[in-house]
Amino acid sequence: MTAQLIDGNALARTIRAEVAGRTQALTARGVQPHLSIILVGDDPASQVYTRHKVNDSTETGLSATLERYPADMSEADLLARIRTLNDDPKVHGILVQLPLPKHMDSQKVIETISPAKDVDGFHIASAGALMIGAKGFWPCTPYGCMKMLESIGYQLRGKHAVVIGRSNIVGKPMAMMLLAQSATVTICHSATADLGAITRQADVIVAAVGKRNVLTADMVKPGAVVIDVGMNRNDEGKLCGDVDFEGVRQVASWITPVPGGVGPMTRAMLLVNTIEAAERQSS
């Protein structure tokens, strides 16, 4: 068996086209959907990520601004700027790029963003809404993973899903989304004792640890679906995920590549959340 690829690039293109159509409809009503991105400091990866987010927005007709601030910006000044954006009716979505400088409390910053404009889906109100099935914003990475499963017509009801990674950004929201689809969910981490004994029981495995080869072929049940959220570099400096791709693809039925898998979908779902925020605020 050689696994079929879940092409995140292709699916993201389809989603961006849908967002462009919704954006055009709002613009025709006199509403210009707008995303405000804040970058504090000069982290190289964050600079790349924010540039992509601005470009993605522009390509779909969304208006996006990137505000850059020095690493020594005070937390009080950042919170004040967020509150100003909260009160600006022309701004529909707010994203503060993580990580923040060490002198800032990331959770405090996130909680300052209005839940109505929390398009990254990290606010506690968004997490609460996800838990009870109310309207909120799903975190972009797990949201993208769910869309990928949906794209292959995968029915989660009654299936066993294992999520490797317990972070609030991916692991826990991913688990809640899977549970909402009536899957049985086990959350693990890279230090879980005999991790393979657990993953070999799984119909779906989501690897989101940030550690190369945390999932190898002998840890996967034949025919399982594998979603690789990891972003690492191999010995040659090339991007790779958490999964031993070449080995696991010989066992799994479906697998996401790195790059070209979850990454493009994360960015696409940010656009979906932003247009959704604009639609809600203008209704």
**Phi-psi sector, 199: left (phi>0), alpha (psi -120 to 50), beta:** alpha
pLDDT recorded at residue 166: 79
* 187 and 238 belong to one structural domain: yes
Tokens of 71: 């690493």
Tell me: pLDDT of 167 over 90. no
State the average pLDDT over residues 183-188: 96
State the pLDDT confidence band at 1, using cuts at 50, 70 and 90: confident
Host domain of residue 215: 140-262
Within a domain: residue 182? yes
State the pLDDT confidence band at 9, using cuts at 50, 70 and 90: very high
- How many domains does the chain fold into? 2
- Active site (catalytic) residues: 53, 97, 120
pLDDT recorded at residue 79: 98
Distance between CA atoms of residues 83 and 68, nearest Å = 17
State the pLDDT confidence band at 5, using cuts at 50, 70 and 90: very high
Please choose, from the candidates 120, 125, 77, the residue with its C-alpha nearest in 3D space to the C-alpha of residue 97. Answer: 120
How do residues 243-261 score in pLDDT, each as one tens digit?
999 999 999 999 999 999 9
Within a domain: residue 269? no
State the pLDDT confidence band at 28, using cuts at 50, 70 and 90: very high
- How buried is residue 79: exposed, middle or buried, by Cβ count under 10 Å (0-12/13-18/19+)? middle
Tell me: pLDDT of 35 over 80. yes
CATH of the domain at 36: 3.40.50.10860
Share of the chain above pLDDT 70, in %: 100
Beta strands in the chain (DSSP E): 4-5, 34-40, 63-69, 93-96, 160-164, 184-188, 204-207, 225-228, 232-233, 239-240, 254-255
State the pLDDT confidence band at 146, using cuts at 50, 70 and 90: very high
Q: Is 234 helix (H, G, I), strand (E, B) or coil?
A: coil
Tell me: pLDDT of 56 over 80. yes
SS3 content of the chain, % helix, strand, coil (to 5): 45, 15, 40
CATH of the domain at 206: 3.40.50.720
